[in-house]
Amino acid sequence: MTTGPQYEHTQKGWTYVALYTGALAALAGAWFSRDDRPAMIIVCVAACCMGLLALCFQTLTVRDEGEHLGVRFGPLAVFRTDVPYAEITAVETARSSIIDGWGIHWMPGRGWTYNLWGFDCVRITLGRKTIRIGTDDPEGLAGFLKIKIAPDGSSPWLLAGD
């Protein structure tokens, strides 16, 4: 039996639609270039890569997994990370900029970004490291994390009226 707060939220992005469309267009191109075997193979490989990327970046699930927060892109969960609660020193809602972008990447001075769609995010500080998790539920995720990292399980931030 689990005790304490729990959190799980899945955000659905829309870039996968463009990737699937590109993959289908590439397959159609491969069909029309079937007389040129090397070109057909290259286009088929590109279509498969676009299809795999679409499967990898269709959703972003953020979930309480006991001692850490799990961040998973999916439904094919190739790209993921875990954020140990014990290492979190600060949590705040934030807005990412166009420079932060979407996907998974690291930027000097801004840290790691895990974002699927939109600009709302939660900025998590782990000592000197920063992680931004994009979400369409920034208040819910930040509130959960503040409770989770509070020493006694109650959050002074939420009790103050947040």
Mark whether 49 and 70 lie in a shared domain.
Answer: no
Mark whether 78 and 149 lie in a shared domain.
Answer: yes
Residues 6+ away with beta carbon under 8 Å from 84: 67, 68, 126
Sorting pLDDT into bands at 50, 70 and 90, what band is 101?
confident
Over the stretch 40-76, which tens digit does the pLDDT of each residue have? 999 999 999 999 999 999 999 999 999 999 999 999 9
Over the stretch 72-95, which tens digit does the pLDDT of each residue have? 999 998 999 999 999 999 999 999
Report the number of distinct structural domains present in the chain.
2
* Token code pair at residue 45: 């490989």
Residue 162 lies in a domain: no
pLDDT at 79: 94
Mark whether 131 and 103 lie in a shared domain.
Answer: yes
Mark whether 39 and 17 lie in a shared domain.
Answer: yes
Residue 7 lies in a domain: no
Domain final residue, candidates 56, 72, 90:
56
Task: Determine the average pLDDT of the residues in 4-13.
Answer: 89
Q: Which domain holds residue 88?
A: 62-153
Residue 51 lies in a domain: yes
pLDDT at 41: 92
pLDDT at 144: 97
Mark whether 37 and 91 lie in a shared domain.
Answer: no
pLDDT at 49: 94
Residue 5 lies in a domain: no
Mark whether 147 and 84 lie in a shared domain.
Answer: yes
Mark whether 82 and 139 lie in a shared domain.
Answer: yes
Over the stretch 121-131, which tens digit does the pLDDT of each residue have? 999 999 999 99
pLDDT above 90: percentage of residues in the chain: 70
Residue 36 lies in a domain: yes
The CA distance from 146 to 157, in Å, is 7
Mark whether 102 and 127 lie in a shared domain.
Answer: yes
pLDDT at 54: 93
pLDDT at 3: 62
5 backbone dihedrals φ, ψ, rounded to 5°: -70, 150
pLDDT at 151: 77
pLDDT at 152: 65
Q: Fill in the amino acid letter for 98.
A: I
Residue 6 lies in a domain: no
Residue 123 lies in a domain: yes
**Closest Cα to residue 106, out of 129, 83, 126?**
129
More confident residue, 89 or 29: 89
